Amino acid sequence: MNLRAIAAIYRFEMGRTFRTLGQSVLSPVLTTSLYFVVFGTAIGSRIDEIDGVSYGAFIVPGLIMLTVLQQAVSNASFGIYFPKFIGTIYELLSAPVSFLEVTAGYVLAAATKALAIGLIILGTSFLFVEITIQHPVWMAAFLVLTCLTFALFGFIIGIWAQNFEQLQLVPLLVITPLVFLGGAFYSITMLPDAWQAISLFNPVVYLISGFRWAFFGLADVPVGWSLVAISGFLLVCLAVIAWIFRTGWRLRP
């Protein structure tokens, strides 16, 4: 394993974050604060508690997941797309580094950014509501696993995209709706039986449910299924990336 190559890619990508600190960190924090004001005040005034948890605290795991998924996908997709756009991807492909090392550099950087923003938002949430984390180790595990998995997914999107419009297509039209419909602001048990069954086909339901369980001990689906879902998606993403580098799909003319 060429650790020097991984570290070089990682440092370069992290350096880009500090050059755009306002966009990378301040923007998602301000957006999440607005969610707290709007949902916590407007809806929280009508819904006091869900399963014994105040509504303001109940939406914290969903808000963190919403931002973490968006940031992991966006950072990883832009990180690999930009070398394609300016043509430096060929230098990377001709360098003595394997696809695992290239992927590790970009994905670890994107996951680190998403994780940092998730933790900042978690800290910010204490300014708005009172939160007790029942299973902090599992909370950290779910958060790290989600950051890595969706950074891998974003890496695939960055390779697939052929223009900046396609680069934003999946995060805007797929990730965000799935999070909103995945129980970020409600429990799926509040839905009619038919819609509960349909919601179980949404993979984000399992992420939010497992993450919320780590906070409050409440879950819409068994925690084991949440771990299976996120781990399975991670393995699928790794297999797809291995196939892309083996075939050169969307990497070579």
Percent helix, percent strand, percent coil in the chain, to nearest 5: 75, 0, 20
Q: Does residue 165 lie in a domain region? A: yes
Angle between helices 60-86 and 203-216 (to 10 degrees): 130
pLDDT of residue 97: 87
Cα(193)–Cα(214) distance, integer angstroms: 25
pLDDT of residue 23: 67
DSSP 120-143: HHHHHHTTTS----S-HHHHHHHH
Cα(15)–Cα(242) distance, integer angstroms: 27
Q: Does residue 236 lie in a domain region? A: yes
pLDDT of residue 253: 64
Which regions in the chain score pLDDT beneath 70? 20-24, 40-42, 44-45, 253
Domain that holds residue 119: 3-247
Q: Does residue 97 lie in a domain region? A: yes
Residue with tokens 């003319």: 253
Q: Does residue 180 lie in a domain region? A: yes
pLDDT of residue 216: 95
Q: Does residue 238 lie in a domain region? A: yes
Residue 200 token pair: 């179980």
Q: Does residue 115 lie in a domain region? A: yes
Q: How many domains does the chain have?
A: 1
Whether the CB-CB separation of 181 and 203 falls below 8 Å is answered with: no
pLDDT of residue 141: 95
Closest CA to 211 of 11, 8, 58: 58
The amino acid that residue 194 corresponds to is A
pLDDT of residue 180: 87
Q: Does residue 200 lie in a domain region? A: yes
**In angstroms, what is the C-alpha Rg of the chain?**
19
**Which pTM was predicted?**
0.91
- Kind and range of the H or E element at 54? strand 53-54
Q: Does residue 85 lie in a domain region? A: yes
Burial 129-153 (b: 16+ CB within 10 A, else e): bebeeeeeebbebbbebbbbbbbbb
